[in-house]
Amino acid sequence: MTTKLAAKQSLFMTFKMLNLDAIEKAELKGDPFPYMVIENVLKADAIGKIVESFPVLSKRGSFPLNTLECSGNFDLLMKELQNPLLRTVIGKRFGMELDDKPPMITVRGYTTDRDGHIHTDSKDKLITFLLYLNPNWQSPDGRLRVLYNKSSLEPYAAEVSPEAGRCLIFKVTDNCWHGHTVFNGDRKSIQLNYVTSTGARERHLKRHRFSAFLKRLFVKNEAHTPY
């Protein structure tokens, strides 16, 4: 083993939650846009601990980290997602220079029929990393699809079950269409984006914070629907 390889493996081992080797080895596909699906982006012995410490979110929508009470292994995962080494690894895989691009994290815990509509991500997002945290997902619905157009959920290039530990990472392009069929109930996910600037990040987070504030004021808890 070369000194360089040994040093890299030593750095990777500092991650207790994320499996960086899985990101390095995942197949990068280019059609209809650059993306990779990873089934084991979390270390096997960490998944249950992360799920157990996931914040309680019974309302739909994306919540910024600073609006949540994060603790335990979930908090450790949030720190690892913001580690510059992860950004470097992802940047190399997608052939992008991301070292000066700030990370932005939002968290979801619940979806309704208002979610899953086909869309592309905004242009000030460069990379989207979607990580799911739902053990033993059984429903045929709520599975994210990589799509060829904005008109239909079929045909699709890939379908990702929101099973705990699975993720989709993709480059944000004009045609990065994605969406899922309607699912009403618990659907835990984390979205990490690398964005163009701190200003862009603050604009997004300000909007999410305001939305979270309104939910706390006016929205009653939505009844959970079993899987």
Convert the pLDDT of each residue in 198-223 to its tens digit.
787 777 766 655 555 555 555 544 43
Cβ atoms 119, 177 nearer than 8 A: yes
> Kind of pairing, strands 125-132 and 167-171?
antiparallel
Give pLDDT, residue 3.
67
Convert the pLDDT of each residue in 111-169 to its tens digit.
999 999 999 999 999 999 999 999 999 999 999 999 999 999 999 999 999 999 999 99
Residue with tokens 């990589």: 146
Residue that wins the pLDDT comparison between 224 and 94: 94
